[in-house]
Amino acid sequence: MLLFSTLRSQFVAVVTAAVVLSNVGVIGIVEGARQRQLEAERRNAAAERIASIFRYLSAIPQSQRATAVTAVSGNVFQYSISAIPPIDHHSMNDEERRIALHLESREPPNGFGSAVARLMQPYTPILDDRRTRLEIMQPISTTGEWLLARFNGPPTPSPTPAILIAAAICTVVTGSAAAWIAERISRPLLRLAIAANEVARGRGVPRLSSAGPKDFQRTAEAFNMMSERVALTLQTQRNVLAAVGHDLRTPLAAMRISAEFVSDEIVRNRLIGDLNEVQSLTEEILSSSKRSNAA
């Protein structure tokens, strides 16, 4: 892609992508821990609420409990009274046992029996879905009445705007820093390419500035030394060619004079033609040498 054809664009794209991915990972970890903590706090608050309802129902006459259960039920907390255990043959895990003990610690001592807690499947926020996240069964009297409480947790809140804003600011700042560093890298490389092109075309011996980091300083010094040696080699070659061209003029002139005295016209014309070609080649060498020196 032309958009990422330069070192600068590739460097900025890679750094920005790495920052975005790391931010997504950090947000995921932080949000996961926050949601787990929020779930624990909600369960404790639900146990507190259910314990207060249990105390209330235990204190009123049995004939009023059905009406009271209907009155205190809502979208989040739902209560019902059953003559048989609503949650049967359920073995509590450590988290459920902790919730049941927390609930019983908030209730007055009674001989009705122990509470049973059951955590439902982990909640997945899909639209505005509400699921039963916790069920607690508890005997409410010695006559075989059971209170079943269901906690229908609200949707898990989305990540706080502060985290998203901080991630966006981090991405922008890091991307800007990457662009600045990429510019610091690409600019000397561009100057090096231009200088190398000048040397290749024989237009002079440009010198690169040795300012900047140590790596660029060493590169500039090596290039300057190389270009000077190349220029010196080329100049030596030009001087040799010019000297050879000048030295050839004298013997060529002598050979031309000697050829004029050849009696055989055919041989004489052939020798003169060959000498003209050598003379033309010599003049081209001298002309090329002059042009190179002038450049």
Where in the chain are all domains bearing CATH 1.10.287.130?
Answer: 202-295
Q: Quick one: what percent of the chain has pLDDT higher than 70?
A: 84
Least confident of 125-139, 170-184, 203-217: 125-139
DSSP, residue by residue, the chain:
-GGG-SHHHHHHHHHHHHHHHHHHHHHHHHHHHHHHHHHHHHHHHHHHHHHHHHHHHHHS-GGGHHHHHHHH--SSEEEEEESS-SS-S----HHHHHHHHHHHHTS---SS---EEEE-SPP---TT--EEEEEEEEE-STTS-EEEEEEEEPPPPPPPHHHHHHHHHHHHHHHHHHHHHHHHHHHHHHHHHHHHHHHHTTS--------SSHHHHHHHHHHHHHHHHHHHHHHHHHHHHHHHHHHHHHHHHHHHHHHHT-S-HHHHHHHHHHHHHHHHHHHHHHHHHHHHHH-
- Domain 202-295 CATH assignment equals 3.30.920.30: no
- pLDDT, tens only, 158-205: 666 777 787 888 888 888 888 888 887 777 778 888 887 877 776 666
Average pLDDT of 134-138?
A: 83
pLDDT in the model for residue 289: 63
- Structure confidence by residue, pLDDT tens digits, 42-57: 877 888 888 888 888 8
